[in-house]
Structure 1
């Protein structure tokens, strides 16, 4: 199948970007031909897509060369609006995926009932969509899912005592940062990955270096797939180690930490990570099998394709366009304003870089002046010492 994936931006090692990356690799492995449409395409995550030679089109810079696909798999409604109503793309099947209840861009489009399917990332997300009036028969839970390399990656046996911890977060809370200091005082290595810290793609080999992972969201599924103890905690708090007892409740809220109303202080976090580690090891072994059943990307994607194949009916894009007259203009305005915003940010960034470089040059010049002044002062001292020595010698000659 020829498939068009849409996402608002591809910039950072963050949720929606990594969802797109993993899905693209999985669909390609299943034999499909892919194009990815986005409004922003830049490093650091751009390097991952380029390394895999994935076809990515920045819609703010050029148009899609192909207008006909077998399937559009979309996230972020504004990009779907753009490819349908501005670019004029068509496909018999259209799937929309909502990644959360809280980000406006991830809210489903008004014409969702006309689409093939609407994928909810969690039960919480599905319940929200049902309350919003979206058609129940169209909504399918499609959780953060894991590529096979996480399940098959060979790991060393879990250690009896914690020696190293990975924290993966783009929004690490204060109490967790304070806990890091306590853990390090206990001679436990703690590395933080995310915005403002080590910023790199989390892979099975990277996860395999640590005894414990502290994170929320998709990284929880990564750790579960590898049979690694995962401490679920971040800006919304969380349950702590994922166990058989709290798994279902944590899964309902996409392992975000929500749903438990539990904020710990730094000493509680430290104590739980250390004291409950041995129990977490026992739970992690069984949860790996549960994860394989629930979060295999290959399995979950195949189920969606099977469902699409059985549905038979195609999306009537012409009917949708007739219902939504003027939407193309609104979408064009959004894209135009976003383009201006991006250019403005680039301009500001360039000026800030120029100012930073200018400050560096000034510091270098100041250092050069200080060095020259030091040399001049040293020369003055030598000259003064030489003159003084000669005067003393002359006096000696005169008086002798």
Structure 2
């Protein structure tokens, strides 16, 4: 399939969050547009800040489930999470042998159980429509193909390829580790602690993600970074950019990629699964000690990584044998069940986006509550310290009052006090 002059529709769950699958849709749309295609995006929900990135690049995004898309207008419909507009399904019911149809490509970006939308969850949909089915990794292929009645004839690995600009970054000249970037939406405690330990060594550490700077990782972001701690698609950015990448996150990981762990990590989509758990001290120490070797590894193999992971290398290869499949009309009862699933999914994505909009307020309130707890804890600590002091002084006072010297002194002072009291009474009566 040629790219220039084609009309493409990309479908996805939501374009609100800056998450891996949304960035895949963004980068794919951007690249296809740059190559001369006309590109539109349909999503279950839109929102800030992710959708702003599509707008900035001139890529229209529609989220109305009833929006009309004329099936025959498109050459390629790239489907993520089995999201399809209802109008496309309606036209597949009324399909005739003479109707022009696009090539459908279905892309699956994880095999995790909690990401059920990434599974082929609508029975027979892909077997009937797909010209090609893509999987992000060998792990994903193995875990998802049992969901098909029969494995689609045309399958391929689409390994989160990186935009070509990452492969054009100049090689960094730093011989020692000075700047580290952590890219994650779920930084584990041991990585936070490792960040502190690295800063104690005068190494600059920056965090990108929901718990740090929440923005897109671009070539400019990586231009002056010595090493990156991350998982997922940012790994491919680093490999094509020639930057040492330390694969570790909430699933654990492998540390710096090298010849010995590369293929195991790649099989699991560089997610860290299949690796080990490290302590913060181990992470910080191994990042410093292993930097030179990791830098040499990516430098020697950068051209290989570009061939394997650059979008301008991977996508043309994936699309080279994609042609529209000869489709038969969908039976109306089956189409109704598919539309029902689409409506359910669409509402879920809308709720998901609405909940995401509440996250900043939740985080603010949580921070205020934590601050109040800190004040309360400080007051409780000071009160407890004062109580200890009062108790100690009371005990000391009791000891003094019970001492022989105090009792003698008290007895000696009794007569002067009685004389003083008597004198006062005499003056009063005068």
Question: Normalising TM by the smaller chain, what interval?
Answer: 0.7 to 0.9
CA 1:337–1:118: 2 relative to 1, 3 Å: closer
Given the alignment, which residue of 166, 173, 180 partners 2:195?
A: 180
User: Which residues of 2 match residues 72-221 of structure 1 at below 5 A?
Assistant: 72-77=77-82, 79-80=83-84, 82=86, 84-85=88-89, 91-102=101-112, 103-108=115-120, 109-110=122-123, 111-114=125-128, 115-133=130-148, 134-135=150-151, 137-157=153-173, 159-221=174-236
Counterpart for residue 280 of structure 2 = 266
Give the match for residue 295 of structure 1.
Answer: 309
Deviation at 1:64, TM superposition (A): 3.6
CA RMSD, 1 decimal: 2.7
2:8 aligns with 3
User: Could you say which residue in structure 1 is the equivalent of 2:297?
Assistant: 283
Aligned 8 A contact 2:179 2:227 in 1: yes
Distance 1:345 1:293 in 2: 37
Residues 17-96 of structure 1: pairs in structure 2 closer than 5 A = 17-60=22-65, 63-64=67-68, 66-68=70-72, 69-77=74-82, 79-80=83-84, 82=86, 84-85=88-89, 91-96=101-106
Higher relative contact order (CA 8 A, sep 6+): 2
The two structures have a TM-score, normalised by structure 1, of 0.80
Deviation at 1:65, TM superposition (A): 5.2
- Say which SS state the counterpart of residue 332 (structure 1) adopts: helix
Secondary structure of 2:239's match?
Answer: helix
Post-superposition offset of 1:18: 0.4
Q: Give, in angstroms, the shift of residue 335 of structure 1.
A: 3.1
* Residue pair 1:86, 1:331 contacting (<8 A) in 2 also: no
TM-score, scaled relative to structure 2: 0.74
Aligned-partner SS, 2:321: helix
Distance 1:218 1:131 in 2: 25
CA drift at 1:331: 2.7
- SS class of match (1:39): strand
Deviation at 1:343, TM superposition (A): 6.1
Q: List gaps (5 residues or longer) in structure 1.
A: 360-400
- C-alpha separation between the residues in 2 aligned to 1:343 and 1:203? 27
Residues 306 and 321 of structure 1, relative CA distance in 2, 3 Å threshold:
farther
Aligned equivalents of 1:279 and 1:345: distance in 2? 41
Specify whether residues 155 and 228 from structure 1 end up closer, same or farther in structure 2 by C-alpha distance, changes over 3 A only: same
- Conserved in 2, the CA contact under 8 Å of 1:224 and 1:291? yes
Q: Give the drift of 1:132.
A: 3.3
Give the secondary-structure state (helix, strand or coil) at the position aligned to 2:197.
Answer: helix
